Amino acid sequence: MPLEIVTVPCLSDNYAFLTHDPASGETALVDAPESAPILAELEARGWQLSHVLLTHHHWDHVDGLSGILEKQPARVIGAKADEHRLPKLDQAVVEGDTFYIGSEPVEVLDVPGHTVGHIAFYMPESGAVFTADSLMALGCGRLFEGTPAQMWASLSKLAALPDETIVCSGHEYTQSNAKFALTIDPDNAALLDRVADINRARAAGEPTVPSVLGQEKATNPFLRAADPVIQAHLGMKNSDPASVFAEIRARKDRF
């Protein structure tokens, strides 16, 4: 059976995720922005935490961990490359590693760019990928440490997953991402429809995360750097997609 996935709003615009295996009772938390809302969700559902999966070292993804572990001890898993700057890990992982939540395999993907040690967690049987600040809804993370080429390679890796994959990203940035996307891909009918849906959802106080990978591929400009229409709009016809991505990212940084 696929895992039950629960989105937990944290801080002002962060998301954490709980994944629960009904058969075994095992429950994993992906990222720990703050303790109170996560512990409240666990208590409300009667779930006992078994694993914590950390995507990267930034404070708004790890600062709640100690408070959570005080109440619900769990096995902490994170990137071996970032072990020196993550909270203490029980298991350090690299790309290609697989571990299990109940009977569900969890595959580790290396997705540098936002940070050099950023990883994502792919759960193929549940059809979900936890991308934090790499691939985001209608966006991607700012390049604090990595290069445009690294991030383009990371996004291309994620884009190769099945279109129906649920993308569980780390922030509610979608509405602002949508405004920027329209400056890059203004005539994309699928994007225009999505922007209208996003604006309706946010006006009603509803989240726009998770999203669906196929929709990201159709509308997210950061995944579409190889598209001839976008390249022409940017005056970069027949350019290397990594260079086009770099231009799109630079424009977003100035937006």
Is 61 a known ligand-binding residue?
Answer: yes
Q: Is 185 a residue of the active site?
A: no
Catalytic: which of 20, 51, 56, 118?
Answer: 56
Q: Is 58 a residue of the active site?
A: yes
Catalytic: which of 58, 110, 118, 185?
Answer: 58
* CB-side neighbour CA atoms (13 Å) of 38: 32
Is 58 a known ligand-binding residue?
Answer: yes
Catalytic: which of 20, 51, 114, 118?
Answer: 114
Q: Is 90 a residue of the active site?
A: no
Q: Do residues 130 and 17 touch, judged by C-beta distance below 8 A?
A: yes
Is 233 a known ligand-binding residue?
Answer: no
Q: Do residues 167 and 135 touch, judged by C-beta distance below 8 A?
A: yes
Closest CA to 230 of 199, 177, 191: 191
Kindly report the backbone phi and psi dihedral angles of residue 85, in degrees, each rounded to the nearest multiple of 5, phi listed first.
-130, 10
> Cα–Cα distances in Å, from 68 out to 22, 63, 165?
21, 10, 29
Is 51 a known ligand-binding residue?
Answer: no
Is 56 a known ligand-binding residue?
Answer: yes
Chain center to CA of 17: 10
Catalytic: which of 20, 57, 61, 118?
Answer: 61
What gap in Å lies between CA 181 and CA 176, rounded to an integer? 9
Q: Is 60 a residue of the active site?
A: yes
Q: Is 171 a residue of the active site?
A: yes
Is 84 a known ligand-binding residue?
Answer: no
Catalytic: which of 60, 82, 110, 185?
Answer: 60
Task: List residues forming the annotated binding site for Zn(2+).
Answer: 56, 58, 60-61, 114, 133, 171
Task: List residues forming the annotated binding site.
Answer: 56, 58, 60-61, 114, 133, 171
Write out the catalytic residue numbers: 56, 58, 60-61, 114, 133, 171
